[in-house]
Chains A and B, each alone.
Chain A
């Protein structure tokens, strides 16, 4: 394990307010010379227990494993010597089921794999299906999808930060962040009618256009949201306990992180600026002005900083998307792929035929295959679809980012203390629904 030398200016508990009305900060522990904070070395292991390794089982029912993950740890004292993860407790065979469903019928399954990013998965899936069908969506639809993806990134990062705070021992940010998450869910509920399982997209368009006054509501959210972020930033980023419990943990170098296939904030925290939105753009992301935050040490603290900055960048993207949101149709004008409006289906013969054919048989893509990856909050989320010309895919494969990120956990926790395993595991931002599928 590499030691990390870095100084973070730590601000600790308050005694009162200063002249400007801000809380005064004093350090929690100061050494004799007044500068450095020294932590006493842990007592030596009892001699008779030295060299005896212990096997400990964490999960699958422990809330701190963020789902049904089971870790078997071999401990030397309190230090992890080896970690063997076990997954599969939530395996439901989504990919198998997908082979028996039409393309639009698969969209509800994408809600349920990474359920914190459900609307983002909906968009990612239809991007893959649309490439397979060879269709281009309308301009308004593209911008709406960008809004959907960034909102779901905000939800996912808020949940990650809130739950990680609880794992590490801070309760207050959790409440603040979940309040904001509630606001995003209120927006989604007005738009698509559901909060968690959105099923918001269709091949060739969206299930619904924005309701009246929705953009103003979103504008209010993106004006107020950065203030909450500033508050959380103030209580967390320089908090002594937070820094002490996250810095130097689970560090991965850039080469290691690439080799272990990490993606998303996990990879960027290690210093590799790989963001699918920038490197392999989709949904016209190359025309948006935003930064890709990159860390240096690849430890839990850097992952926190990267995700935190991504929240601010998502707000920037949302602002730009709102400004450029064009009028016009949301769905493409090809009723072989997308359902005609209900009013037309009940009044026009041709639309009724299209409606019937679509519901009974489903749209058929040509023979081919497509792999479309998007930058989900967890990393590179890919959908690989193979079509043999029928209305159901031959193979539907999900490339789950947290599955690959989690596979590096034995490397990340070895040499760390048992209590740090929880912090490192939390920093991966796993969703077991996506890992087990």
Chain B
């Protein structure tokens, strides 16, 4: 087992719920509200120095009663250690975990993707919006088990939505904060963006 586990237990006590080793990889299940704090300590402590965030993702079990798991893969390059952190989000509670973006810039797109695919809200992420799917996507969160492989909507409905979307309206509001460029846009697009719409729906 990764020696970091003992150090974590000593430092955070009850926030470390479980630790086990599967196929040589150590998994630590932590209290979900304290993830950012724990990752911060792992990053900053010279005895741990987990300076590289490999991955942020989530896992939903086929058994829908099981909690959704958010998974962080961390690497300590100095000590050549690999650690998997997990936080369990029980069904029926809001899917929220603290963002590790203030610690790792690399978490930016990984958290956005995780939000896009699973609907997990990373509290503290400055720009949490869809990444791979478009912002007007209405079917939900694609990697959740309640979405069938071919999508929730019928093929005809998917086609109708695709045809109804305005391909010109692909700028996000953030991009249009530049006043000059905003005035250059077509009249109807300006009106829609003023009314608070983010991108083309």
Known: A86-B170, A404-B109. A95 touches B73 (CB 8 A): no
Report B37 CB to chain A, min CB distance, Å: 18
* A399 beta carbon closer than 8 Å to chain B: yes
> Are B54's CB and A53's CB within 8 A?
no
Known: A55-B178, A261-B105. A87 touches B131 (CB 8 A): yes
* B108 beta carbon closer than 8 Å to chain A: yes
* A371 beta carbon closer than 8 Å to chain B: yes
Known: A371-B55, A386-B59. A407 touches B181 (CB 8 A): no
Contact with A along B64-105 (1 / 0, CB 8 A): 000000010101010010101000000000000000000011
Report B138 CB to chain A, min CB distance, Å: 16
For B55, the chain A residues whose CB sits under 8 A away are 371, 382, 384, 397, 399
Contact with B along A321-332 (1 / 0, CB 8 A): 000000000000
> Are B59's CB and A55's CB within 8 A?
no
For B117, the chain A residues whose CB sits under 8 A away are 95
**Of A88, A406, A437, which contacts B133 at CB under 8 A?**
A88
Report B127 CB to chain A, min CB distance, Å: 10
* B60 beta carbon closer than 8 Å to chain A: yes
For B108, the chain A residues whose CB sits under 8 A away are 407
* B4 beta carbon closer than 8 Å to chain A: no
Among A91, A260, A261, A436, the most chain B Cβ lie within 10 Å of the Cβ of A261
Known: A84-B172, A274-B77, A395-B60. A100 touches B149 (CB 8 A): yes
Report A304 CB to chain B, min CB distance, Å: 23
> Are A87's CB and B54's CB within 8 A?
no
Q: Which residues of chain A in 262-281 are interfacial with respect to chain B, using CB atoms and an 8 Å cutoff?
A: 262, 272, 274, 279-280
* B106 beta carbon closer than 8 Å to chain A: yes
Contact with A along B130-168 (1 / 0, CB 8 A): 011110000000110000010000000000000000000
**Of B54, B71, B104, which contacts A259 at CB under 8 A?**
B104
> Are B105's CB and A52's CB within 8 A?
no
Contact with B along A376-408 (1 / 0, CB 8 A): 000010101010100000110101000110111
Contact with B along A185-201 (1 / 0, CB 8 A): 00000000000000000
When chains A and B are docked, how far (Å) is the Cα of A404 from the Cα of B108? 9
* A134 beta carbon closer than 8 Å to chain B: yes
> Are B109's CB and A88's CB within 8 A?
no
When chains A and B are docked, how far (Å) is the Cα of A259 from the Cα of B105? 6
Report A136 CB to chain B, min CB distance, Å: 12
> Are B52's CB and A274's CB within 8 A?
yes
**Of A100, A279, A388, which contacts B61 at CB under 8 A?**
A388
Closest to B133 in A: A88
Q: Which residues of chain A in 352-383 are interfacial with respect to chain B, using CB atoms and an 8 Å cutoff?
A: 368-371, 373, 380, 382
**Of B27, B57, B84, B110, which contacts A404 at CB under 8 A?**
B110
Closest to B108 in A: A407
> Are B54's CB and A380's CB within 8 A?
yes
When chains A and B are docked, how far (Å) is the Cα of A70 from the Cα of B175? 13
Contact with A along B40-63 (1 / 0, CB 8 A): 000000000001111101011110
When chains A and B are docked, how far (Å) is the Cα of A274 from the Cα of B104? 17
**Of A70, A260, A382, which contacts B106 at CB under 8 A?**
A260
When chains A and B are docked, how far (Å) is the Cα of A19 from the Cα of B60? 71
Known: A131-B23, A370-B23. A279 touches B77 (CB 8 A): yes
When chains A and B are docked, how far (Å) is the Cα of A433 from the Cα of B67? 31
> Are A54's CB and B51's CB within 8 A?
no
Known: A96-B149, A388-B62. A84 touches B174 (CB 8 A): yes
Report A280 CB to chain B, min CB distance, Å: 7
* A132 beta carbon closer than 8 Å to chain B: yes
> Are B71's CB and A384's CB within 8 A?
yes
> Are A261's CB and B131's CB within 8 A?
no
For B80, the chain A residues whose CB sits under 8 A away are 279-280
> Are B181's CB and A54's CB within 8 A?
yes
Q: Which 9 A-B residue pairs are closest in the complex by CB-CB distance?
A: A261-B106, A55-B181, A88-B132, A407-B109, A91-B132, A395-B59, A399-B55, A260-B105, A368-B22
- Can you report 8 residue pairs joining A to B where beta carbons are below 8 Å apart? A53-B178, A55-B176, A74-B178, A88-B132, A259-B104, A371-B82, A371-B84, A394-B60
Q: Which B residues fall within an 8 A CB radius of A?
A: 22-25, 27, 51-55, 57, 59-62, 71, 73, 75, 77, 80, 82, 84, 104-110, 113, 117, 131-134, 142-143, 149, 170-172, 174-176, 178, 180-181
Given contacts A55-B181, A279-B77, 7 further A-B contacts (CB under 8 A): A55-B180, A84-B175, A131-B23, A134-B23, A261-B54, A261-B110, A404-B110
